[in-house]
A and B are shown apart, each in its own frame.
Chain A
């Protein structure tokens, strides 16, 4: 299906959006990464996509984070102190 990596309305590829979000630019040259980051900052379409993906990450992050209960912490620490 060719819709798979359909570029955004401003023609930026989804791969470039992901690179930007993850701050990963290895494998692309410096000129291209500069052009890309200045585009993403100034483009309404791209900044909404980025904001949306970051929001999604926040939702995933806070949904997945599990508190360490005090009793579990105590048991783990006790077993650690026995190691000495």
Chain B
């Protein structure tokens, strides 16, 4: 059964807030985000007769949103080198800031000692598009790998690797904020010390 355009507004309105939130993080500002959501709703309305009622409407709307975003910003889209993040360690932040002394502290409380919410936003917005979309869909909107694969029209394996790399990039950027503020040791310095020890 196909969806009915007469019920379009009431069917889709519940998703407006999360579409807008994602649009702000994708476009980087509120004005463009509003345009992007409006375009999303217009496109969705026009093809609503192709939406199969009873299937995942939220994912379908996010697919239209991310497509509209990609089409708008194709020119400035940065294609990250697949190897960019290969020398960044997994669980980057955990391995650097978590220790015995802080194990009783909640992760949220500990993390907020190292960086601010504004820095989280700028680290996310600095991610290359492909990674940013995966991270926003998974970690902010809570979509599953399978849903993200459908939204971005890529294989599940690609979702996994983009998320993995995107999260590492994000963790490194957040750590660097703490380093620049002098509350975490510079990683290179730490590595230099290790190699100096080994050679002596």
Contacts and interface: CB of A to CB of B under 8 A. Distances in A.
Q: Do A and B bind each other?
A: yes
Interface in A37-66: 48-49, 51-66
Contact of B21 (A60, A64, A73, A83): A64
Contact of B103 (A48, A73, A79): A48
A67 B16 CA distance: 11
Contacts of A4: 86-90
Given A48-B103, A68-B20, A14 B91 contact: yes
A30 to B, nearest CB: 18
A28 interface: no
Name, among B16, B88, B163, the residue most crowded by chain A CB atoms within 10 Å (CB to CB).
Answer: B16
Interface stretch (B34-42, B54-62, B72-80, B176-184): B34-42
B38 A22 contact: no
Given A60-B170, A64-B124, A68-B20, A55 B111 contact: yes
Contacts of B25: 64, 66
Interface residues of B, number: 54
Interface in A2-36: 3-6, 8, 14-15, 17-18, 22-24, 26
Contacts of A48: 98, 103
A54 B81 CA distance: 28
Contacts, number: 129
B145 A55 contact: no
Contacts of B20: 66, 68, 72, 76
Contact of B9 (A62, A65, A75, A80): A80
What are the 3 tightest A-B residue pairs by CB atom distance, in nearest-first order? A55-B107, A63-B120, A14-B90
Interface of A: 1, 3-6, 8, 14-15, 17-18, 22-24, 26, 48-49, 51-69, 72-73, 75-77, 79-81, 83-84
